[in-house]
Each structure stands twice: as structure tokens, then as C-alpha cells.
Amino acid sequence: MIGVDPRFGLPTDAGVFEEIAKTDQKIVVSTVSRRYGKIITLVSGFDKSFDIKGTAKKLKEELACGGTVKDGIIELQGNHKLRVKDILIKLGFPAESISD
């Protein structure tokens, strides 16, 4: 049986709160040229309370690239601007909250 959180009146299942957190994000996907002409893709706009590292791990696995999380921004090696939005939508983020 699923319990109900008395503060919000919603089920206490952690997945419900994570889905609510995904709708509150205003995500920006951009590319930047770094040293020696290398292109990296930046995914920013996440709240501090959101699991950024888990999202970065899923993006890196799906894109087959390296990357890191610095100061709340996901940095992916290579130009993945065209594919990141589709992957984020597949992960449950609303399309309206993602801008290029």
C-alpha cells in the first residue's frame, strides 16, 4: 500500500516527486568551442535539488560520449545539440521546458 504525504496529499512514492521536479526545470542546450577547436554540448538550467548526475549518466550512455557535471551544468564531449532534446524528452522532461 502506498502512503500519502500529509504535506502535499500526494503518494509518497519517490518517483512521483521526481516527475514533478522534471516539469519545473527550464533546460537550455547549447554548444561551446573549447581549447583546440573541440566542441562541447552544455545542458544547463537544472535546480540544485534535482539529480543532475543521474541525468548526465543517462545522457552519456545514450550518446556514447564522455562528460561531466560542473556547477550544475552537464558538459558532454562533442556536438550533440540535435540529439539531447529528444533524449531528455524520452527521459520524461516536457518538450516545452527545453530550449535550444
The structural domains of the chain, ordered by start, are 26-99 (3.30.780.10)
Nearest to 78 by CA among 43, 28, 26: 43
| pLDDT tens digits for range 68-91 | 999 999 999 999 999 999 999 998
Radius of gyration of the chain (CA): 15
pLDDT at 65: 95
| pLDDT tens digits for range 24-79 | 678 999 999 998 999 999 999 988 777 899 999 999 999 999 999 999 999 999 99
Q: Which three cell numbers stand for residue 26?
A: 527550464
| DSSP-assigned letter for residue 49 | T
β-partners of residue 2 are none
